C-alpha cells in the first residue's frame, strides 16, 4: 500500500512538472503584436515622461511586474487639466484628462522598457477622480484611460480596474491614475 502511495505521488510530481516551463524558456509576443505601430496609427506621439514631483520614482519593477506611480493629465506644455468633476469639469473633459494620463503613463513605460512591445498585459488600474461628493460617474471618466489602453494594446490592454472619487488630488488635477503592468523579459 505504501508503495502504491509513492507511485501516485511520483505521478503527481511528474504531471505537475510537465506543465511547468523551465527557467531558460523565454516568452515573446506573438507575431502582429505591435503597440508602437498602433500609436503611430492613432497619431499619438509620446512625450518625455513626467518627472516625479516628490520623493518617489515613476515606476518599480519586481520580476515581470511594473508598478507605476500615479500620474495625472499633464500636457506637453506643462499645464494640467484641473478642477472637480461635478462642479467645473465635465465628464467629457475628465475623459480627455484620463486619456492624456494614459499617454503619460505609456511614456513612463517606454522610458523604463525601451519599447512598448515588451508589455505583456495591463493588469490593474486605479483611477482616482477629483470630484464633488455627489458625483457618481467616475467610471465614465476613467474610461478615457481604459479605452486608450485597449486601442493601443488590444486584448492585452483589458484590465481589472477601480474608479473612485477623491475629495482632492495633488495640484487640483482632475484625475490621477496608477497601474500594474506585466512585461516580457
* pLDDT tens track for 85-99: 999 999 999 999 999
Residue 16: pLDDT over 90: no
- Does 107 or 2 have the greater pLDDT score? 107
Residue 65: pLDDT over 60: yes
Give the mean pLDDT of the chain.
89
- Does 180 or 18 have the greater pLDDT score? 180
Q: What is the model's pTM?
A: 0.84
Contacts of 103 (CB under 8 A, 6+ apart): 44, 46, 47, 148
Q: What domains are there in the chain, each with its CATH number? A: 30-183 (3.30.1330.40)
- Angstrom distance (rounded) from CA 185 to CA 180: 16
> 29: which DSSP letter?
P
- Residue 4 banded pLDDT, cuts 50, 70, 90: low
Amino acid at each position: 500500500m505504501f508503495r502504491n502511495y509513492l507511485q501516485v505521488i511520483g505521478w503527481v510530481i511528474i504531471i505537475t512538472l510537465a506543465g511547468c516551463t523551465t527557467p531558460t524558456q523565454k516568452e515573446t509576443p506573438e507575431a502582429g503584436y505591435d503597440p508602437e505601430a498602433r500609436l503611430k496609427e492613432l497619431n499619438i506621439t509620446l512625450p518625455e515622461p513626467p518627472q516625479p514631483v516628490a520623493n518617489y520614482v515613476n515606476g518599480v519593477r519586481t520580476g515581470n511586474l511594473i508598478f507605476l506611480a500615479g500620474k495625472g493629465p499633464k500636457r506637453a506644455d506643462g499645464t494640467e487639466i484641473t478642477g472637480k468633476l461635478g462642479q467645473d469639469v465635465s465628464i467629457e473633459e475628465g475623459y480627455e484628462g484620463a486619456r492624456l494620463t494614459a499617454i503619460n503613463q505609456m511614456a513612463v513605460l517606454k522610458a523604463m522598457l525601451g519599447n512598448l512591445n515588451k508589455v505583456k498585459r495591463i493588469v490593474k488600474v486605479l483611477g482616482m477622480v477629483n470630484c464633488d461628493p455627489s458625483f457618481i460617474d467616475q467610471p465614465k471618466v476613467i474610461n478615457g484611460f481604459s479605452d486608450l489602453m485597449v486601442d493601443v494594446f488590444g486584448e492585452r490592454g483589458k484590465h481589472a480596474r477601480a474608479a473612485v472619487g477623491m475629495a482632492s488630488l495633488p495640484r487640483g488635477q482632475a484625475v490621477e491614475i496608477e497601474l500594474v503592468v506585466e512585461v516580457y523579459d
